[in-house]
Amino acid sequence: MAITLNVNGKRRSAPAASPDTPLLYVLRNDMEINSCKYGCGVAQCGACTVLMDGRAIRSCVTPAKSVAGAKITTLEGLGSAEKMGVLQRAFVEEQAAQCGYCISGMIMTAAAFLDTNKNPSEEQIRGALAGNLCRCGTHSRIIKAVQRAAKEMSA
Amino acid sequence: MSAATSLKSKSRRSFLQQSAGLTIGFSLADPLALAQDAAKPAPLPGSLQTNRMLDGWLRINGDGTVTMMTGKIDLGQGITTALAQIVSDELDVDYKRIKIISGDTALTPNEGVTSGSLSIQDSGTALRFASAEARDILMQAASAKLGVPTSEMTVEDGNIVTAAGKRVTYWEMADAGLLKREATAKVKPKPVSAHKLIGKSIQRRDIFPKVTGGVAYVQDIRMPGMLHGRVVRPPSPRAVLLSVDLAKVKKMPGVVAVVRDGSFLAVACTREEQAIAARVALHESAKWQEKGDLPPPGAALFPHMKKQRTNDTVVSQKTDAAAAASAAKVIEASYTKPYLAHASIGPSCAIGQFKDGKMHLWSHTQGVFPLRNDLAKMLRMKETDIVVTHHEGSGCYGQNGADDVTADAALLSRAPELKGRPVKLQWMREDEFGWEPFGSAMAISMKASINAGGKVVDWNHELWSHTHSTRPYDPDGCNLLAAWYIADALKPGPSRNIPQPSGGSDRNSVPLYVFPQQKVTNHLLVDLPLRASALRTLGAYANVFAAESFMDEVATAAGADPMEFRKKHLTDPRALAVIDAVVAKSGYQAGAKSGDGKSGRGFAFAKYKNLAVYVAVVADIEVDRASGEISVKRAWAAADAGLAVSPDGIKNQIEGGLIQSTSWTLHESLPFDEKGVKAHTWAEYPILRFPEVPVVDVTLINRPEERPLGVGEGSQGPMAAAIANAFFHATGRRIRDLPMTPERVKATLA
Ligand code: FES
Ligand code: FES
């Protein structure tokens, strides 16, 4: 049974996936989307975060079929290397990555958060990212990047 | 981290630079010292010594690009960007023209392991000399071509132009084989004043694909016909596989091959989720005989460690009987640090392909050549039949599962059912927690005497630890996990210590303070029941935590302010300067009392490895006496890393270290019992989260006249001790056992 999803504004189908295949693997393997990452597989780290109708979800524990009617957005949907989105640019400006494996999840979580909070305090940003783990200690730069993006978005 | 190749020229002057958060160092060999007798190859600077051909480092391409090849690799520290900056400056080509190939046994120089902040010293020095020489060779060729002396020519972005306006480009000379020759290192690289890119903080190249969904990691590589693999590890170390129902699993959807070799089990499937399901089924059906021979967990671990077989070394000894005899008071204390996990966010991953008798592996190893050496031993193949290509993974902080997952992928890729198809094997989270080599637990006993004048007259630092380095390429063993479990098993190499001056478990155990009498003893445990290897700072984190906590205890016994007490025992002006800088920035008041039992301020200092960056830290904490939670509110660090060419880059490194150390210090301890490791998910191994991250402030002392010093591992030790000292300042009680969990805080305050 083929799975058809709306990903980054396009209808994409994954003929070989089964309905209970986690969204993460459908995105990464069937649709060749690199950004969302396997980190823990049990919704603990945030590396696999994508947007479902604008809400941040953990694709590692989301069966693909359960999002069939929704709009899925991944990091690729925010901008490309040639034309980066505001958050992506802010992360480059702040050089807010060491290894960067957590960064797609950070940006997607921040994207959903900034959508509902245009003028967040530092504490609110920290709270919004509390469920995302970074092992490299890049936190302070990630906070700065989100602050920068928030400013730019409201400017 | 392992001591990689170091420059051996007799006379040298070194200057190093910081760029994009990296310490980059050059060693300029004295040309006279290089003019050795003709029989022996002349010593060459950096890794040119072991990789002597210019075209092994640089290729000029007809399409207007330059290919730079390095044996060092990116681990999230942006090293290849910095190396490309060097090539750009020395070769006079635009940075954008430079293509980078790093860490490939088929394509790049062999530069051992990327570790110990040595990449710029080794590879940067080589590329710097190679680029300077290549530029000169191209100029000579242009001179011959145009009939104009080189003194009348200039180069700009690969265009060689004469005063009269004649020109020839590097790219026109691409096919002439000009770089097919051995380096001489006789062309002097440019002086610092002529650098355009070196010393600038330019945006790291690797960050663009990372924020836009490019193929940034080995996890992202896809190949035609690629299968997905998983490994099935035993329930505990040294368990033996008694039986497993392979036939049943082979019938599961998508299963292409199940490999059983002794006690090694792995599966390859068409789809990733199928491989995960097959892995679960194999786990369920496998019967193992377990050993249950791990050391006792919890507090019992440390007395147990002290009873084990050890190799003992006196690391440092100074005797002054007269001074020691003036002792008025003796202070003693013991400290412990548990096993820590690297706990990379992305579990380790590798791709293997076995075709026509040749093996190709894509790996985030820190050393493609050392890994290949151990793979050849395990696979019983010739090294020349194996290619290892580096591709970045998640941050590793030392030796995580990178090498081992590559061995797993290699064994799986040989299954005949794969018929040469590549297989990508990623560890599950629980494989990473259960089977990465951990940072060793350590026990440290301190003893000091002070005289009536409140000065230390005798200092003893005695430590017990397992090894901190069991990387591949051991001459007496094979350091790959799977190799110990296959039917034709190999043994790991013996426990070894990295010798001083950088040291392994004894790193930073020798005081920088001036004491008349001192003794430092390292007890290296011979047996390694729970596998351990390099984790960022090696022994320095625990040694600095212990020694700098103890300095506070001794200061208290002497009735002195801890910061002033340290200054009284230091003579190195650079050490004193970072202390003064952090005191000024944080507003540290000598002798200030906390008073409220809840908030406190701690101080600590270290010079990493006694060879690298100087870091002084002040930390402000709050203790919730009811919950036992410590919250690190703010931390100030002052650092002297010599010449600070990219101040922001250094600050970033110091900041990251403060944050990672806060996590280690407050939260981390590997849970295990006699049978096995008990961490499977982040729930059993919690790390620092955003709301707990301290606000960090880094002051940099720039010393342009000094050699730059490695910074990446400098702040972790002092941060741990500053937190412990702040806790004492707040509560009057001392925590000497890490981590400082709520339970421990409550027990200490009870
Ligand atoms: S991989 Fe989904 S939350 Fe960790
Ligand atoms: S940057 Fe490496 S895990 Fe966050």
CATH number of A86-154: 1.10.150.120
- The ligand whose atoms approach the alpha carbon of A28 most closely is 1
Residue of B nearest to A23 (CA): B273
What is the pLDDT, as a whole number, of residue B194? 87
Residue range B597-611: mean pLDDT, rounded: 96
Question: What is the rounded CA–CA span in Å between residue B610 and residue B302?
Answer: 27
Question: Which ligand 1 atom is at minimum distance from the Cα of A48?
Answer: 2
Q: Which residues contact A47 (CB under 8 A, 6 or more apart)?
A: A36, A37, A38, A39, A40, A101, A102, A104, A105, A132, A133, B345, B346
* CATH code for the domain of B542: 3.30.365.10
> Is the CB of A106 inside a 6 Å radius of any atom of ligand 2?
no
Judge whether B364 lies within some domain: yes
User: pLDDT tens, position by position, for chain A (155 residues)?
Assistant: 689 999 999 999 999 999 899 999 999 999 999 999 999 999 999 999 999 999 999 999 999 999 999 999 999 999 999 999 999 999 999 999 989 999 999 999 999 999 999 999 999 999 999 999 999 999 999 999 999 999 999 98
Residue entry with tokens 């590589």:
B221
Residue of B nearest to A122 (CA): B691
Residues B284 and B326 in one domain: no
Name the nearest CA neighbour of A72 among A58, A55, A54, A52: A52
Q: Is the pLDDT of residue B32 over 60?
A: no
Of the candidate ranges B193-207, B266-280, B442-456, B713-727, the one whose mean pLDDT is the lowest: B193-207
> Is the CB of A101 inside a 6 Å radius of any atom of ligand 2?
yes
Residue entry with tokens 């190999």:
B490
Name the domain count of chain B. Answer: 3
Q: By residue range, what is the domain housing residue B57? A: 41-194
H or E, element range at B325: helix B321-325
Q: Does pTM surpass 0.90?
A: yes
Name the nearest CA neighbour of B485 among B289, B340, B269: B289
Mind listing the pLDDT tens digit for each residue in B428-463?
999 999 999 999 999 999 999 999 999 999 999 999
Name the nearest CA neighbour of B21 among A9, A134, A141: A141
Q: Are strands A55-58 and A49-52 parallel, antiparallel or unpaired?
A: antiparallel
Helix axes B368-379, B402-413, angle to 10 degrees: 40
B10 pLDDT band, cuts 50/70/90, is very low
Contacts of A22 in chain B (CB under 8 A): 273
H or E, element range at B207: helix B207-212
What is the pLDDT, as a whole number, of residue B81? 84
Q: Is the pLDDT of residue B686 over 60?
A: yes
Buried b (16+ CB within 10 A) or exposed e, A79-110: beeeebbbbbbbbbebbbbbbbbbbbbbbbbb
Ligand 2 atom 4: the closest Cα is on which residue? A134
Judge whether B499 lies within some domain: no
Contacts of A34 in chain B (CB under 8 A): 213-216, 220
Judge whether B102 lies within some domain: yes
Residues B373 and B449 in one domain: no
Question: What is the rounded CA–CA span in Å between residue B254 and residue B423?
Answer: 13
Mind listing the pLDDT tens digit for each residue in B569-599?
999 999 999 999 999 999 999 999 876 899 9
Question: What is the rounded CA–CA span in Å between residue B126 and residue B122?
Answer: 6
Mind listing the pLDDT tens digit for each residue in B41-100?
789 988 999 999 999 999 999 999 999 999 998 876 677 888 898 899 999 999 999 999
Question: What is the rounded CA–CA span in Å between residue B373 and residue A79?
Answer: 42
> Is the CB of A40 inside a 6 Å radius of any atom of ligand 1?
yes
Residues B165 and B276 in one domain: no
Q: Are B269 and B418 in contact (CB under 8 A)?
A: no
Ligand 2 atom 2: the closest Cα is on which residue? A99
Residues B451 and B427 in one domain: no
Q: Is the pLDDT of residue B341 over 70?
A: yes
Residues B668 and B690 in one domain: yes
Question: What is the rounded CA–CA span in Å between residue B410 and residue B52?
Answer: 31
Q: Do B213 and A35 touch (CB under 8 A)?
A: yes
Q: Which residues contact B231 (CB under 8 A, 6 or more apart)?
A: B264, B265, B266, B279, B405, B408, B412, B425, B427, B431, B482
- Chain region(s) in chain A for CATH 3.10.20.30: 3-77
Residues B278 and B180 in one domain: no
Q: Is the pLDDT of residue B485 over 70?
A: yes
Q: Which residues contact B471 (CB under 8 A, 6 or more apart)?
A: B2, B113, B366, B367, B370, B399, B403, B479, B533, B534
Q: Which residues contact B507 (CB under 8 A, 6 or more apart)?
A: B468, B498, B537, B538, B539, B540, B543, B609
Around A113, how many Cα atoms within 13 Å sit in the side-chain half-sphere?
Answer: 27
B641 pLDDT band, cuts 50/70/90, is confident
Which of B411, B435, B459 lies at the terminal end of a domain, its last residue? Answer: B435
Ligand 1 atom 3: the closest Cα is on which residue? A43
Q: Do B346 and A47 touch (CB under 8 A)?
A: yes
Question: Which ligand 2 atom is at minimum distance from the Cα of B346?
Answer: 3
Judge whether B33 lies within some domain: no
Question: What is the rounded CA–CA span in Å between residue B364 and residue B63?
Answer: 30
**For the sheet containing B630-640, what is the strand order?**
B599-607, B614-623, B630-640, B695-701
Residues B394 and B512 in one domain: no
What is the pLDDT, as a whole number, of residue B561? 97
Q: Are B456 and B449 in contact (CB under 8 A)?
A: yes
What is the pLDDT, as a whole number, of residue B628? 98
Contacts of A51 in chain B (CB under 8 A): none
- Phi, psi dihedrals of residue B329, rounded to the nearest 5°: -150, 140
Question: What is the rounded CA–CA span in Å between residue B224 and residue B70?
Answer: 28
Distance from CA of A113 to the nearest CA of B (A): 15
Question: To test the ligand 2 pocket, which listed residue (B77, B207, B210, B345) has its Cβ within 8 A of the most ligand atoms?
Answer: B345
Q: Is the pLDDT of residue B9 over 60?
A: no
Distance from CA of B427 to the nearest CA of A (A): 10
Question: What is the rounded CA–CA span in Å between residue A108 and residue A125?
Answer: 13
What is the pLDDT, as a whole number, of residue B117? 64
Contacts of B424 in chain A (CB under 8 A): none
Contacts of B212 in chain A (CB under 8 A): 35, 75-76, 79-81, 84, 88
- The ligand whose atoms approach the alpha carbon of A102 most closely is 2
Q: Is the pLDDT of residue B35 over 50?
A: no
> Is the CB of A104 inside a 6 Å radius of any atom of ligand 2?
no
Cβ count near B742 (within 10 Å): 14
CA of B394 to the centre of ligand 2 (A): 7
What is the pLDDT, as a whole number, of residue B38? 44
Question: What is the rounded CA–CA span in Å between residue B445 and residue B425?
Answer: 43
What is the pLDDT, as a whole number, of residue B595? 66
Q: Do B216 and A138 touch (CB under 8 A)?
A: no
Contacts of A76 in chain B (CB under 8 A): 212-213
Judge whether B447 lies within some domain: yes
CA distances from B610 to B135, B411, B444 (A): 38, 42, 19
Residues B154 and B231 in one domain: no
What is the pLDDT, as a whole number, of residue A138? 95
Question: What is the rounded CA–CA span in Å between residue B191 and residue B17?
Answer: 12
What is the pLDDT, as a whole number, of residue B201? 78
For B38-164, list the strands marked E by DSSP. 58-60, 66-70, 98-102, 153-156, 159-162
Name beta bridge partners: B53. Answer: B182
Mind listing the pLDDT tens digit for each residue in B388-436?
999 999 999 999 999 999 999 999 999 999 999 999 999 999 999 999 9
Judge whether B205 lies within some domain: no
- The ligand whose atoms approach the alpha carbon of A133 most closely is 2
Question: What is the rounded CA–CA span in Å between residue B717 and residue B511?
Answer: 13
Question: What is the rounded CA–CA span in Å between residue B62 and residue B641?
Answer: 41
Q: Is the pLDDT of residue B16 over 60?
A: no
Q: Are B274 and B252 in contact (CB under 8 A)?
A: yes
Residues B346 and B451 in one domain: no
Q: Is the pLDDT of residue B34 over 70?
A: no
- CB-nearest to A136 from B217, B271, B656 is B656
Residue of A nearest to B78 (CA): A98
> Is the CB of A60 inside a 6 Å radius of any atom of ligand 1?
yes
B329 pLDDT band, cuts 50/70/90, is very high
Q: Is the pLDDT of residue B302 over 90?
A: yes
Residues B181 and B255 in one domain: no
- Phi, psi dihedrals of residue B209, rounded to the nearest 5°: -60, -30
B118 pLDDT band, cuts 50/70/90, is low
H runs (alpha helix) in B422-572:
429-435, 540-557, 562-568
Question: What is the rounded CA–CA span in Å between residue B184 and residue B126?
Answer: 11
Which three-class secondary structure state does DSSP give residue B7? coil
Residues B334 and B347 in one domain: no
Q: What proportion of chain B, given as a percentage, has pLDDT over 90?
A: 83
Interface test with A, best of B80, B276, B345, B713 (most A CBs within 10 A): B345
- Phi, psi dihedrals of residue B698, rounded to the nearest 5°: -115, 125
Q: What is the DSSP string of B487-527?
A: TT--PPPPP--PPTTT-STTTT-S-SS--SSEEEEEEEES-
What is the pLDDT, as a whole number, of residue B77? 66
Interface test with B, best of A65, A138, A140, A146 (most B CBs within 10 A): A140
- CB-nearest to B210 from A21, A38, A100 is A100
Of the ranges B32-46, B324-338, B649-663, the best mean pLDDT one: B324-338
Residue of A nearest to B424 (CA): A29
Question: What is the rounded CA–CA span in Å between residue B692 and residue B658?
Answer: 12
CA of B234 to the centre of ligand 2 (A): 29
Q: What proportion of chain B, given as a percentage, has pLDDT over 70?
A: 93
Q: Are B255 and B222 in contact (CB under 8 A)?
A: no
Name the nearest CA neighbour of B393 among B403, B385, B383, B379: B403
CA of A42 to the centre of ligand 1 (A): 6
Mind listing the pLDDT tens digit for each residue in B237-263?
999 999 999 999 999 999 999 999 999
- The ligand whose atoms approach the alpha carbon of A104 most closely is 2
Residue entry with tokens 């460690």:
B305
Q: Is the pLDDT of residue B1 over 90?
A: no
What is the pLDDT, as a whole number, of residue B650? 80
For chain A, list the strands marked E by DSSP. 3-7, 10-14, 49-52, 55-58, 71-73
- CB-nearest to B429 from A32, A41, A129 is A41
Which three-class secondary structure state does DSSP give residue B267? strand
Contacts of B663 in chain A (CB under 8 A): 137
> Which structure tokens are listed for B615?
């870091």
CA of A125 to the centre of ligand 2 (A): 17
Q: Is the pLDDT of residue B647 over 80?
A: no
Options 3.10.20.30, 3.30.70.140, 3.50.30.10, 3.40.1190.20; CATH of A3-77 = 3.10.20.30
Name the nearest CA neighbour of B555 among B517, B513, B584, B525: B513
Name the nearest CA neighbour of B368 among B386, B353, B381: B386
Name the nearest CA neighbour of B262 among B237, B285, B284, B243: B243
